[in-house]
A and B are shown apart, each in its own frame.
Chain A
């Protein structure tokens, strides 16, 4: 019959008019999120084996992993892990590829920030865990800290270390003279540091924290270098 569809349509809208509204009054009412909802990407650092698969698989270069090998061990560890959420498209590839379920999606979806830098989530391995005595396993697994969580004292320490690094890079004689006695040793140490950034960083940290240890470490490096060098010379000869 002509017009049957019109009547039907009117019936449908009338039915819907008296049905329950599907609107959620958002800030007051929270939406129900399914288990696999992809909110903020999170990193559970104790589980991380620093394999770097997530970084390789990310299509937008959201993830950055800095690794190091603690003295005397052969296993890589994560030094810092950065999630630059502004580029994340929540594709789930990193979460799927992670062999230890370190990466996961939280249900937190309110990710707006006032400053562009704040959207980066940086996980740092606590600095004291980097100073593992040689030949020993780590005492405790890395504790997850976000950059914002780091206390003021820690932040100050970081700044001092950074400053010391630049000083060591530009004018090593002056600062090294405080821990090394002979001119020859200072020269060797300078060349060692310019060859190896890690040594420079470690020395800088120790200089801030414990000068005696720094002196011992520096002397050890220099002695080792002295021992190696004649042998090298002999081999060449």
Chain B
């Protein structure tokens, strides 16, 4: 079980080579297969996640949630997807066509790119990048541009307002997000995610870096545009923010990308703070799924508990609270590392 997926990959490569392909071609085909499977997993995962989100929201409000289609309503999202696929694709006449049409594509591409470096199990990162964390943060911040594209291209005041809010929010929260990860990097001594997981062999970093975990969690919520920080969408104020003018599958792509980002951020949280794929008895790739889903459930729990925060409070919270706290955390971590090194540990 542990090496099931790796075994399949190796068998596939050796079979391709035995067919007479050069190893370079075999690797390329394997890479394409890996990306395809990632996209498949993401899409299926989003179907489950949307169902889960609605179920969780229902339970917290003492409702039943979707319960009509299939057992416990699990097929509800499939029906919704089919509906979105068959809807008319409306492009308003006064939009900036190219930007309007490419924004959702870029958004989903950026979201999928995040999965390149996340170790999905033992030795199971698609690309074992030595600056993996840096890559993750930099690619993650690109999604701001996509939302700005959507907002600008829509030629709609609500869309633009939502996009502007998104940019302000993302730039502000990018800083505490990166700072909170610095503590982990300092302890692990590496930006490679596999190395960071390996460094948590004895002790999860959530115990060494609890403040960093909390700041990461808050900043990540803001990065994901999820409640209580869903200012860019804020349906009561901006209808649907940057997504107002989008219909059918274009809108669904945004939705898909948002949930894909949610999975990526949760997977990163479990990789950096919860020991990644490490765990007893079960195969490593099941452990990362369990941990990721636990983190996502906490995200959902928070979304359905807290009311939306006001825009200026949101900004001042980032600049006046989160950034100082994460800076202090870095200083403390550095001091502690020096101290324990001096002690000879």
Contacts and interface: CB of A to CB of B under 8 A. Distances in A.
29 contacts: A6-B305, A6-B306, A9-B306, A10-B301, A10-B302, A10-B305, A12-B305, A13-B60, A13-B301, A13-B304, A13-B305, A14-B301, A16-B59, A16-B60, A16-B61, A16-B62, A17-B56, A17-B59, A17-B60, A19-B62, A21-B58, A21-B59, A21-B62, A21-B63, A21-B64, A22-B63, A23-B63, A23-B64, A25-B64
A118 B302 CA distance: 50
Contact residue range for chain B? 10 to 19
Contacts of B62: 16, 19-23
B238 to A, nearest CB: 25
Interface in B275-319: 301-302, 304-306
A18 B58 CA distance: 11
Interface of A: 6, 9-10, 12-14, 16-23, 25
A24 to B, nearest CB: 10
Interface in B144-177: none
Contacts, number: 35
A89 to B, nearest CB: 29
Contacts of A21: 58-59, 62-64
Contacts of A17: 56, 59-60
A15 B58 CA distance: 13
B86 to A, nearest CB: 28
- Sort A-B residue pairs by CB-CB distance and give the 4 closest, nearest first: A17-B59, A13-B305, A13-B60, A17-B60
Contacts of B59: 16-18, 21
A16 B58 CA distance: 10
Contacts of A6: 305-306
Contacts of B58: 21
Nearest to B59: A17
Interface in B34-68: 56, 58-64
Contacts of B60: 13-14, 16-17
A191 B59 CA distance: 78
A22 B60 CA distance: 11
B192 to A, nearest CB: 34
B294 to A, nearest CB: 14
A91 B305 CA distance: 38
Contacts of A16: 59-62
A18 B62 CA distance: 8
A18 B59 CA distance: 7
A14 B56 CA distance: 10
A182 B302 CA distance: 97
A23 B58 CA distance: 10
Nearest to B321: A2
A18 B60 CA distance: 8
Contacts of B56: 17
Task: Count chain B CB atoms within 10 A of each CB in A12, A14, A17 and give the residue with the most.
Answer: A17
Contacts of B302: 10
